[in-house]
Every structure is written in C-alpha cells, then in structure tokens.
Amino acid sequence: MNRPTVILDRDGVINADSDAYIKSVEEWRPLPGSIDAIARLSRAGWRVLVCTNQSGVGRGLLSETTLASIHDTLCRQVEEQGGHIDGIFHCPHRPEEGCDCRKPRPGLLHRAAERFNLELRDLPVIGDSQRDLDAARAVGALPLLVRTGNGEATAAQPAHGATAIYADLPTAADALLQGVHPTGKESGQ
C-alpha cells in the first residue's frame, strides 16, 4: 500500500524556535496543537517524516545524544496521542560547511525519499522558512508555509514560492486530511 506522506520541518513548525538554538529536552517546547496534528495525520494513515537543520550539533552547542533525546521526546509525545513519526532526518552541519544535507539544499529530502522509496514530486513539505520552501521546490515537492516560527517573515516576502500558507501545523494538517489541494491562496485564517 502506498501511504500518503508529508515532510515537516521541526523548529518553528512543530516546536518553538530559538535564536539561541534548542539545546536540551527542557528547551524543546511543542507549539500548541502540533503534537495532536502529527498524531491525527498518522492515525489517518499518513507517513510523517521530519527533515530538520540542526547546526547546533556542528557548533558544539548540543551533542548527537542530546538531539536524539529531544527527538525521542517528540516521538513519545506523538505516540501518547496515538500517532507515530516514521522517520527523522537531520543535518548537523554549520552553514559554512557547504554540505548537501543542509536546507535549502535537498539532501535531507533525498535521504528520506531513498529510505522510504518515495517519489518527491508533489509531496507536501511543510516549513516556516525560505530554506524549507527552496528545498521542497528543488525536488519538485509541494512547498507549504506555516505562519509560526519564521513563517510571518517568510510570508511577507513576495517571492516566497509557497503553494499555500497556513496559520500553523494543525491548520495545514486539517487541509491535508480534508484532501484540500493547495492552490496558492491563503488558508486557515
């Protein structure tokens, strides 16, 4: 069975973002409704993947072990709501390292596609930053923007390139669950 799939950014989409980086489980705070939104997608048969830049690892601000603990917390909270995250992919590199996996480059999306044998074309990718939208467009995916995190600033850029803009992850999840095909119009206001 070919399950519908959605790829989510983490910071600013699922949890509150911080200019000082999320460096511990204690600093990781889910945005209102985001855990339930992931669980609802999962319970409805969607494969939920997370692709996230985590340069705090490369900067020495947190270890891979601490990052894994943060992701374990995320997964446990989703499971407590009856859902499941199928995979989390992260880029630990600093921007100046020029890796292929740091968004806006599409390496993380390619890694997810390879692991789950996915066709990325028209696959919804939900982010709050221009780099998320650019990575989605680079692989022919469907770039969806949420106004949480950096989303307000990104939405204010005329050339953001989002296919649709949603108030937050719960609103975007509602649209996906209702089979609403993003049209480029503002949604969830």
Q: Which of 11, 17, 36, 128 is catalytic?
A: 11
> 135 pLDDT exceeds 80?
yes
Residue 166 scores a pLDDT above 70: yes
pTM of the model: 0.94
Of the residues 9, 128, 132, 168, which is catalytic? Answer: 9
Of 135, 117, 116, 115, the residue nearest 125 (C-alpha): 135
Q: Which CATH number fits domain 5-177: 2.30.30.60, 3.40.50.1000, 1.10.760.10, 3.20.20.70?
A: 3.40.50.1000
pLDDT of res. 184? 40
Query: What does the pLDDT read at residue 183?
Result: 44
Q: Confirm whether 9 is a catalytic residue.
A: yes
Which tokens sit at 152? 């307000």
**15 has a pLDDT exceeding 90:** yes
Residue 181, pLDDT > 70, answer no
Domain residue limits, the chain: 5-177
Give strand pairing partners of 91: 53
pLDDT, position 182: 59
Active-site residue, 36 included: no
Q: Please tell me the distance from the alpha carbon of residue 141 to that of residue 79, in angstroms, as a whole number.
A: 27
Q: What is the mean pLDDT of residues 78-82?
A: 98
CA–CA distance, 35 with 115 (Å, rounded to integer): 24
% pLDDT > 70, the chain: 95
With beta carbons less than 8 A apart as the criterion, state whether 76 and 39 touch: no
pLDDT tens digit string along 99-123? 999 999 999 999 999 999 999 999 9
Please provide residue 15's backbone torsions phi and psi, each rounded to the nearest 5 degrees: -130, 165
Provide CB contacts within 8 A for 104, sequence distance 6+: 130, 131, 132, 134, 135, 138
pLDDT for res 2: 78
